[in-house]
Amino acid sequence: MKICVLIPAYNAGGTIGPVLEKTRSLGLDTIVVDDGSSDETERIALEYGVHLLKHHFNRGKGAALRSGFQSILEKDYELIITLDADGQHDPLAIPSLLRIFQIVQPDLLIASRAGGFNRMTFLRRFWNRLGVKAVARLCHCDITDSQSGFRLIRTKILREISLTTTGFEMELELLIKACKKGFSVLSIPIDVPRVDGTSSSHFKPVTDTWLVCKLYLRSLLW
pTM: 0.86
State the Cα angle at 98 between 94 and 102, rounded to 5°: 175
Specify the amino acid at residue 146. Answer: S
Residue 36 has pLDDT above 80, yes or no: yes
199 band by pLDDT with thresholds 50, 70 and 90: very low
For residues 135 and 142, give the distance between their C-alpha atoms in angstroms, rounded to a whole number.
9
Q: Is the pLDDT of residue 196 over 70?
A: no
The pLDDT value recorded for residue 59 is 97
pLDDT over threshold 50, residue 149: yes
- Mean of pLDDT values over 23-30: 98
Q: Is residue 185 scored above 50 in pLDDT?
A: yes
- Position 143 scores a pLDDT of 85
Between residues 115 and 208, which one has the greater pLDDT? Answer: 208
The angle formed by the CA atoms of residues 98, 145 and 92, to the nearest 5 degrees, is 35
CA-to-CA dists, residue 107 to 70, 89, 146, 178, 216, angstroms: 18, 20, 15, 9, 21
87: number of CA atoms within 13 Å, CB side? 14
The larger pLDDT score, comparing residue 152 to residue 207, is at 152
Task: Give the model confidence (pLDDT) of 105-140 as tens digits.
Answer: 999 999 997 655 455 566 566 666 666 777 777 777
Of the candidates 50, 19, 53, 26, which has an alpha carbon nearest to the alpha carbon of residue 37?
Answer: 53
Dist. CA 108–CA 185, nearest whole Å = 5
pLDDT at 210 over 70: no
Domains of the chain: 3-219 (3.90.550.10)
CA pair distance 175, 153, nearest whole angstrom: 10
